Amino acid sequence: EEDEAELEELLGPSPLALGPGAQRVAVVQPAVKWGPKKSPLTTAELQIAEAVALVDTLQNWTVLDKIIIPTKNPNKKFVFGKGNFQVLTEKIRKLPHLTAVFLNVERLSSLTKKELEGAWGVKVFDRYTVVLHIFRCNARTKEAKLQIALAEIPLLRSNLKNEVSQRDQQRGGSRYIMGSGKTFMETQNRVLKERELKIRNALEKLRRKRSLLRTQRRKREFPMISVMGYTNCGKTTLIKALTGEAGLQPRDQLFATLDITAHAGYLPSHMAVIYVDTIGFLTDLPHNLVESFSATLEEVAYSDLIVHVRDITHPETILQKATVLSVLKNLNLPSHLLDSIVEVHNKVDLIERYKPSEENALAISALHGHGLEELKQEIEKKILTATGKKILTVNVNLEGPQLSWLYKEATVQEVEVMPEDGTARVKVIIGNSAFGRYKNLFPNSKIFMS
């Protein structure tokens, strides 16, 4: 009861929530023309297109204007040089009914944000704030909501510094509350620290619960396949196609999936597997945000196989691949998992006569079913290697308990009955521990390796 009440308090309205109201936004993209800050895999046009897609994800948010402005160093205080900042300010001030500017940089310091809002007279959002708001709108489970609350802590700390400097100016430097000797900053910092600890504890409890579920799944020896990729690449559509699960509703939207969800499917040999749908990745996704979702991504480390889905029609598909692989490397996954990744090129129905240039990549259309049989066969091959499962044929006596035991403990593929001697040849897929138990229980059974 007490735990539930505390959880409700942590999941209450966010102090950072941008509110349900409509936002009319100007999207501003700093364009780095040369130097170490320039990314070789993208252009300012493609970056602003993704920023616009992020805004379009939010209900009641509309893009009034898209502005690309050159800069040598997007990390300086005003992001742009003096002349370009002047040009940008004039453009922003001319936009009618503007309520906010989305400056497409990873994070703005609270000081820069305050200065920009002062210069432009409207709210200023960075990538962190916008992505966090999308996450907040899409979170369904307690775990996703807690992870978002955790990701908000650095922003709340940053806002606190801002608030303290304003109070100092207003009060002529007096920083004490009610003469208690405790500064406002210290008090608020302690409140934030306590909130962070409570969130981390609640997440730890959920993590332990999931660990228990994972152990139960392991006992049943269901292989697990994590389906990963850049946001909106078609992961959920692919899982729906592989499992035939009618209830799965893919949405053409960035970050439609925020929670790990598991879906049962069958491989060509009738082996039951679990496909795990994961949160999509984004370039320049702030580290704190990835960090807060580490509990969700932890599940990936326990998979038997990773399927990396790429939207091959996207102009930034190479950058997107690099982003996903970079996040995977930072998750400290076992090397055998990284070495056995199945790369899938999705949406090939939109490209005439598409052939993957990468070796071993598979071309598919999750929407139209093209290439799915080859993909299932590849997954099966890799799963057999990863899990050490064997395909065997065993001779069983039809009057004995072997056949029903095999149906319960292994994957029975074929049964060929020999009526003349009351036996059957049974083709099965069986895990190592089940195979060991079978040999102990039925030491006289004839076994043929496939």
Establish whether 189 is an annotated binding residue: no
Q: How many helices (H) and strands (E) does the chain have?
A: 15, 14
Nearest alpha-carbon partner for 130 in 76, 69, 56:
56
Establish whether 258 is an annotated binding residue: yes
Establish whether 234 is an annotated binding residue: yes
Cβ pair 64, 95 in contact under 8 A:
yes
Sheet with 411-418, strands from edge to edge, namely 411-418, 423-430, 390-397, 446-449
Establish whether 259 is an annotated binding residue: yes
Establish whether 349 is an annotated binding residue: yes
The distance from CA 396 to its chain's CA centroid, rounded to whole angstroms, is 47
Distance CA 321, CA 199 (A): 32
Distance CA 232, CA 134 (A): 14
Establish whether 366 is an annotated binding residue: yes
Establish whether 130 is an annotated binding residue: no
Distance CA 195, CA 357 (A): 49
Establish whether 65 is an annotated binding residue: no
Establish whether 346 is an annotated binding residue: yes
Establish whether 43 is an annotated binding residue: no
The phi and psi torsions of 109 (rounded to 5 degrees) equal -70, 155
Establish whether 284 is an annotated binding residue: no
Distance CA 336, CA 319 (A): 24
Distance CA 449, CA 424 (A): 16
Establish whether 348 is an annotated binding residue: yes
Nearest alpha-carbon partner for 307 in 224, 378, 228:
228
Distance CA 110, CA 155 (A): 9
Establish whether 257 is an annotated binding residue: yes
Establish whether 231 is an annotated binding residue: yes
Give the 3-state secondary structure of residue 36: coil
Establish whether 137 is an annotated binding residue: no
Distance CA 389, CA 147 (A): 36
Distance CA 296, CA 286 (A): 16
Establish whether 367 is an annotated binding residue: yes
Write 371-374 long-range contacts (CB < 8 A, 24+): 372/241, 372/242, 373/268
The distance from CA 418 to its chain's CA centroid, rounded to whole angstroms, is 51
Establish whether 236 is an annotated binding residue: yes
Give the 3-state secondary structure of residue 307: strand
Establish whether 255 is an annotated binding residue: yes
Amino acid symbol at 150:
L
Distance CA 321, CA 184 (A): 46
Cβ pair 139, 117 in contact under 8 A:
no
Written as six digits, the tokens of 242 are 């592989």
Establish whether 431 is an annotated binding residue: no
Q: Which residues on adjacent β-strands are paired with residue 225? A: 275, 305
Distance CA 354, CA 370 (A): 12
Extract the annotated binding site: 229-236, 255-259, 277-280, 346-349, 365-367
Q: Which segments are annotated as binding site for GTP? A: 229-236, 255-259, 277-280, 346-349, 365-367
Which segments are annotated as binding site for Mg(2+)?
236, 257
